[in-house]
Amino acid sequence: MSAGILHIKDSYYFEVPKFLAPSHRTKRSEFADYWVRLDPDYQDWEAQQQLALLEDSTIELPENPDHLLADYHAWRAEGGNFAKPFDRFLEEAPANKWFQEQLKDNASVAGKWDLIKQKANDVVAYDAEAAPWSEAKIADYNHQLSGKLLIPQPFGELRNHYQMESGFGISKYMVLLLVAAILLFVLFRKVADVLQSGKRTRLTNLIESILGYIRDQIAVPTIGKHDAEKYVPFLWTLFMFILVCNLLGMIPFLGSPTASFAVTATLALTVICVTIGSGVKRFGVLGFLKNQVPHMDLHPAMAFVIVPMIWLIEMLGFFIKHLVLSIRLLANMVAGHMVLLALMGIAVGTAGLASWYVAAPLSLFGALAIDCLELLVAFLQAYVFTFLAGLFIGSAIHEH
With a cut of 70, say whether residue 298 has pLDDT above it: no
Q: For 259-278, what is the mean pLDDT? A: 92
What values do phi and psi take at 148, rounded to 5?
Answer: -105, 115
Distance (Å, whole) CA 190 – CA 203 = 10
Distance (Å, whole) CA 176 – CA 264 = 14
Q: For 124-130, what is the mean pLDDT? A: 87
- State the pLDDT at residue 8: 52
Q: Which residues of 293-325 are buried (b: 16+ CB within 10 A; e: fewer)?
A: beeeeeeeeeeeeeeeeeeeeeeeebeeebeeb
- State the pLDDT at residue 361: 82
Tell me how crowded residue 353 is: count the other CB atoms within 10 A of its CB. Answer: 10
Query: Is 7 or 202 the better-scoring residue by pLDDT?
Result: 202
Query: Is 207 or 358 the better-scoring residue by pLDDT?
Result: 207
- State the pLDDT at residue 239: 94
Distance (Å, whole) CA 177 – CA 388 = 22
With a cut of 70, say whether residue 4 has pLDDT above it: no
Q: For 32-61, what is the mean pLDDT? A: 87
Q: For 192-202, what is the mean pLDDT? A: 85
The pLDDT > 90 percentage for the chain reads: 23
Distance (Å, whole) CA 9 – CA 15 = 12
- State the pLDDT at residue 5: 40
Distance (Å, whole) CA 323 – CA 329 = 10
Task: Tally the C-alpha atoms within 13 A of residue 280's C-alpha that lie toward its C-beta.
Answer: 7
Q: For 221-236, what is the mean pLDDT? A: 89
Distance (Å, whole) CA 25 – CA 148 = 13
Query: Is 336 or 48 the better-scoring residue by pLDDT?
Result: 48
The answer to whether 255 and 179 are in contact (CB under 8 A) is no
With a cut of 50, say whether residue 7 has pLDDT above it: no
Q: Given pLDDT bands bounded at 50, 70 and 90, which one contains residue 195?
A: confident
Q: Given pLDDT bands bounded at 50, 70 and 90, which one contains residue 284?
A: confident
Q: Given pLDDT bands bounded at 50, 70 and 90, which one contains residue 400?
A: low
Q: For 82-100, what is the mean pLDDT? A: 88
Q: What ranges in the chain are assigned the alpha helix state H? A: 33-37, 40-56, 67-76, 86-92, 97-105, 107-120, 123-129, 135-145, 172-196, 202-214, 220-223, 225-248, 261-290, 300-349, 356-397
Q: Which residues of 9-32 are buried (b: 16+ CB within 10 A; e: fewer)?
A: bbbbbbbeebeebebebeebeebe
Provide the mean pLDDT of the chain: 85
What values do phi and psi take at 312, rounded to 5?
Answer: -65, -45
List the single range of 125-129, 260-264, 281-285, 361-365 with lowest mean pLDDT: 361-365
The answer to whether 42 and 126 are in contact (CB under 8 A) is yes
With a cut of 70, say whether residue 320 has pLDDT above it: yes
> What does each C-alpha distance from 397 to 2, 183, 222, 286, 320 come to in angstroms?
42, 33, 11, 13, 19
* Spatial CB neighbours of 400, under 8 Å, sequence gap ≥ 6: 291, 292, 293, 294, 295
Q: For 309-334, what is the mean pLDDT? A: 87
For the chain, the residue count is 400
Which is nearest to 73 in space by CA: 43, 95, 113?
A: 43
User: What sign does the dihedral 176-182-185-186 (CA atoms) show?
Assistant: negative
Q: Which neighbouring-strand residues pair with 33?
A: none
Q: Given pLDDT bands bounded at 50, 70 and 90, which one contains residue 6?
A: very low
Tell me how crowded residue 63 is: count the other CB atoms within 10 A of its CB. Answer: 5
With a cut of 70, say whether residue 227 has pLDDT above it: yes
> What does each C-alpha distance from 277 to 269, 271, 323 come to in angstroms?
12, 10, 18
Which is nearest to 360 in space by CA: 346, 378, 371?
A: 346
